[in-house]
Amino acid sequence: MNPVWADLLNSDWHDYLGRGRDEDRLENPAWVERFLSRWGPPGAFGPPRRVRTALRRLRTLLARMVSAALAGRDPSPRDWAALGATLAAAPLVRRLERGKGRCAIRLAPAARGLEAVLGDVAAEFAAVFEKGEQGRIRLCENPDCRWVIHDTSHGGNRRWCEGPGGCGNLMKVRRFRERSRASHKSSRARSRS
């Protein structure tokens, strides 16, 4: 399962089957509602246009930072500052939770709303760099897909997304068909000679 930051990045959707269709899922109210449902009920985040604009701005920032990581570079100081500003706009407070003679101290958003959503997404993304796992950020190797994936596999060698149809299976089928066509052409050429 993709982390929430990858879901946001992958909202810039490309048809993994190669039919050339693209879709900005931030323009799809049902997709945005599903994405935000982790944080609260529909409509709790402000006007839809403001929500889409804020999500698109964060997606653009994360895309630049992912591009830098994929190229083996550190993101720019400007991008780090923008990510830090997103986190600062969503402060956390300590909350005491009690139950059956025990207590726990939990970090919770100081306020609900769009800034808390953006802060959670930014924090989850920043944690990848904090853990030194930016080398595990990859693009699906299906050239038609280009989904961003965070490879958490043991071997760290994941090549395909787990998108709608699973590009790994799709690419295996494509390679099999290419080999079959090549083999068929080769046998036809031999039978003509």
What would the pLDDT profile of 115-134 be if each residue is shown by its tens digit?
999 999 999 999 999 999 99
What would the pLDDT profile of 4-57 be if each residue is shown by its tens digit?
999 999 999 877 666 778 889 999 999 999 999 989 887 789 999 999 999 999
Where residue 190 falls among pLDDT bands split at 50, 70, 90? low
Proportion of the chain above pLDDT 70, given as a percent: 83
Mean pLDDT along residues 69-80: 96
- Specify whether the CB–CB gap between 140 and 163 falls below 8 A: yes
Where residue 94 falls among pLDDT bands split at 50, 70, 90? very high
For the chain, which domains are there? 4-88+114-192 (1.10.3300.10)
Where residue 160 falls among pLDDT bands split at 50, 70, 90? confident
- State the average pLDDT for the chain: 87
Is pLDDT larger for residue 177 or for residue 92?
92
- At 16 the pLDDT is 66
- At 116 the pLDDT is 93
- At 32 the pLDDT is 95
Secondary structure, 3-state, the chain: CCCHHHHHHCCEEECCCCCCCEEEHHHCHHHHHHHHCCCCCCCCCCCHHHHHHHHHHHHHHHHHHHHHHHCCCCCCHHHHHHHHHHHHCCCEEEEEEEECCEEEEEEEECCCCHHHHHHHHHHHHHHHHHCCCHHHEEECCCCCCCCEEECCCCCCCCCCCCCCCCHHHHHHHHHHHHHHHHHHHHHHHHHHC
